[in-house]
Chains A and B, each alone.
Chain A
């Protein structure tokens, strides 16, 4: 009996595992194209004209594209950090509210999710206009904060709710003050969720077009805005070279970290 269920349990699991791997491969299909086309010797992305690395040279000289990259990275880091911090604080604060207050507050936190970005963008632009705030890095970050905060709240809130409240209570009983409890119990327990939130927020900010269109100002053209304007004049493999470098860079770091982990496991000071 139990042997039979084991078998029926294992086969679908194998199938789901392969499907899941298939999905991850699906995510990488266009990335492979980007990498291959970055070595294209042609002036246009869609026709292969032999192997060349010249676009990497072009990229190194392209101050416009690199400054757009810098703007995107800066805005991504700042807004992801602010959104995750705001989400964490809100999650902790909401645990102290009554059920009605909690529902109201979470409702308003998630509100930006149900408003089309273009509407928020136009509306924000007119608010900035009324305030005579000059458009630039600050307005751009604020715009991205609006977009990313609900995602951060969603992830951190979910994880915080799943926390065993007994843990925090135990910490209090053991004489931990608010700050100590926060530093020694809450944050370590939520680390994974905070990381997930930060990464997601950074990614969302990094790829945002609509909000950036309305909140960017003098000299704060983000990478997606720059690429969008290049669509008209024709994309060159230079864009693919940039994409390749970004992905390669992340991989090197992941592999570096991964290798260290593996060694730790082999040496045996890890528990699993």
Chain B
């Protein structure tokens, strides 16, 4: 569809340098067009619509009536909503931290295998996700239910005595979150770690660096772009999750995602749903900016 980019226009005879530049520009444009147009038409335009709607008045049926008001925003500053935002940010930060740690460990392990093994392991990591998400979530429900396999194991080990009430709970919800986002964290970290020359680590080791220092001083700074990407890919989508807290967490602690779904559907209050989305969006962009500057400052210090 959008991949029909215009071929570089043939230019008559002007000076060679100018032909080159025009051609260069045309090719650049053609390369950027598919992704650029997709984002423009399917993201930016809808986004403008959301921002506009966040200032609109709702009609009796929750649709957009038009008009202009800040009420949708002022209502969001109710402590009730702020609590949801706070809880979501905390949960997302925790999930990101765990996913980054595990993702780094797995990527480091992967990168140390032979190329054949790496390819296979990469596929092995992604295969579980070819089973439907809800089916996997249901498997977790079965696993964690009282008298289920995990409960049986902990009983046998003497950790628990009798049926344990693990589900629904925040813990179960958290396991579900980590499970869902781990592969998205592994991929970017692995991609950058793979590009790091393995001899660097060995050189550092030979120069007397301990395991910890090899990682913190040599490898981590090098894979920082991957870690940043992984952090973004985990942190932000976690805030939008709404099925996991419902199925594994018992729906008692809402994430922003649940709030927005409720506003848009059950409350039929599209303008306020839009306002909540805009607030979330601003929060996201702010955290991205903070992460970005932090990374830049770090880089300057290390280089």
Residue positions of A touching B, CB distance < 8 A: 1-2, 5-6, 8-9, 11-13, 16-17, 19-21, 23-24, 26-31, 33-34, 37, 45-46, 82, 85-87, 89-90, 92-94, 96-97, 105, 108-120, 122-124, 126-127, 138, 142-143, 145-146, 149, 151, 153-155, 158-159, 161-162, 178, 192-193, 196, 199-200, 203, 206-207, 209-210, 223-224, 227-228, 231, 235, 239-240, 242-243, 246-247, 250-251, 254, 258, 261-262, 265, 272
Nearest chain B CB to A231's CB is how many angstroms away?
A: 7
Is there an interface contact between A126 and B229, defined as CB atoms closer than 8 Å?
no
Interface size on B, residues (CB 8 A): 105
Nearest chain B CB to A15's CB is how many angstroms away?
A: 9
Q: List 29 A-B contacts (CB under 8 A).
A: A5-B208, A9-B205, A9-B214, A23-B182, A29-B143, A30-B179, A33-B149, A34-B131, A89-B35, A90-B36, A93-B27, A94-B32, A97-B32, A108-B39, A109-B39, A113-B233, A116-B240, A120-B47, A127-B49, A154-B188, A158-B191, A162-B192, A193-B191, A200-B183, A207-B132, A243-B135, A246-B130, A250-B130, A251-B127
Q: How far is the CA of A17 from the CA of B27 in the complex (A)?
A: 46
Query: Which B residues are in CB contact (< 8 Å) with A207?
Result: 129, 132-133
Q: Which of B105, B138, B183, B205 contacts A45 (CB 8 A)?
A: B138
Nearest residue (CB) in A for B255 is A116
Tell me if B109 counts as interface (CB < 8 A to partner A): yes
Query: Which A residues are in CB contact (< 8 Å) with B260?
Result: 116, 118-119
Tell me if B125 counts as interface (CB < 8 A to partner A): yes
Q: Which of A24, A45, A158, A239 contacts B142 (CB 8 A)?
A: A45
Nearest chain B CB to A134's CB is how many angstroms away?
A: 16
Query: Which B residues are in CB contact (< 8 Å) with A251?
Result: 127
Q: How far is the CA of A113 from the CA of B159 in the complex (A)?
A: 41
Is there an interface contact between A89 and B34, defined as CB atoms closer than 8 Å?
yes
Those 5 A-B pairs whose CB atoms lie nearest each other, nearest first:
A93-B31, A123-B46, A20-B109, A30-B139, A116-B240
Is there an interface contact between B209 and A5, defined as CB atoms closer than 8 Å?
yes
